[in-house]
A = this chain, B = another copy of it.
Amino acid sequence: MRNLKVCISYNGAAYHGFQRQNNAPSVQQTVEEALSRLLGQSVTINGCSRTDTGVHAKEFYFNVKIDNNIPCDGFIKGMNSLLPHDIAVHSCCDADDDFHARYCSKGKEYIYVVNMSPVRDVFSGKLALHYQGALDIEKMNKAARLFIGEHDFGAFCKAEAKEHLKSTVRTVTFFGVSQEGNKAVFTVRGNGFLHNMVRIMVGSLIYISEGKRTEEDIIRALETGDRESAGKTIPPEGLYLNRVFYD
């Protein structure tokens, strides 16, 4: 058996997240169906992450055990001809037997894109959040530094998800905001992320820009786990899994 490490990208607008669901289209199911057509065998893939409904990935890894000697180049071309237009395979290589896309990941980078054009951009409807007004990039950047380091991010986690976790302590290694034209791009890197963590962190910075939260609120949220001191969970359409780090 070979263990393939495969990099894909996907536009999440039409999918109920990466993970296979009952009665709803998922990226996993779509990829597994293309794989079974290409290989003539039914396989299960291990994704590096779950992503929520409507969340995108510019770089997403999965591994899959296959009993087939198809060359990697043929695998890429074959998969791209079988997959729909909103999922693409970028690379494929043979990995060690014990490589697992999720458990071997050392960290991830997400970006969140906010479009600040006065009128919504009809070409990025499901690819960015439309925000009417100008966000205060400098103020948000200053507050973003508060998140860097090892913290209990319990206040920045979907309530139902928290119950199933042993720990809500994570390490954020970078969090910054840049302006590109009329877009604000939030970039965050860390060793792991809780459910909705990036969307609540970015939502908190937007509240900071709007004066609805202060830096003290963020510090309190990180110290006490108080969800109310953080900001709201912003919609999924601006969120992209951007990079996944391995040794």
Given A80-B119, A80-B120, A119-B80, the answer on whether A11 and B86 have CB atoms closer than 8 Å is no
15 pairs of residues in contact across A and B, judged by CB atoms under 8 Å = A9-B119, A9-B122, A10-B122, A11-B122, A11-B123, A56-B123, A76-B119, A80-B120, A85-B125, A86-B122, A86-B125, A87-B122, A88-B120, A88-B122, A90-B119
Contacts of A119 in B (CB 8 A): 9, 76, 80, 88-90
Chain B residues whose C-beta falls within 8 Å of the C-beta of A122 in the assembled complex? 9-11, 56, 85-88
Q: Which of A7-36 contact B (CB under 8 A)?
A: 9-11
Residues of B within 8 Å of A89, CB to CB, are 119
How many positions in chain A have a CB within 8 Å of any CB in the partner chain?
Answer: 20
Residue A218 at the chain B interface, CB threshold 8 Å:
no
Q: Quick check: is A127 within 8 A (CB to CB) of the other chain? A: yes
Query: A70-127: which have CB < 8 Å to B?
Result: 76, 80, 85-90, 119-123, 125-127
Asked if B120 contacts A127 (CB within 8 A), the reply is: no
Residues of B within 8 A of A88 (CB): 119-122
User: Would you give the shortest CB distance from A92 to chain B, in whole angstroms?
Assistant: 11
Closest to A12 in B: B122
Closest residue on chain B to residue A8 by CB atoms? B122
- Minimum CB–CB distance from A15 to chain B (whole Å) comes to 11
Q: In the assembled complex, how far is the CB of residue A185 from the closest CB belonging to chain B, in whole angstroms?
A: 14
In the complex, residue of chain B having the shortest beta-carbon distance to the beta carbon of A57: B122
Query: With A and B bound together, what is the CA distance between A45 and B44 in angstroms?
Result: 53
- Nearest-Cβ distance from residue A75 to partner chain B, whole angstroms: 13
3 shortest A-B CB distances, which residue pairs?
A85-B125, A11-B122, A88-B119
Cα–Cα, bound, A163→B92 (Å): 52
> Which residues of chain A from 104 to 152 have a CB within 8 Å of any chain B CB?
119-123, 125-127
Closest residue of chain B to A122 (Cβ to Cβ) is B11
Of B11, B120, B121, which contacts A125 at CB under 8 A? B11
Question: Which chain B residue lies CB-closest to A7?
Answer: B119
**CB closest residue in chain B, given A237:** B85
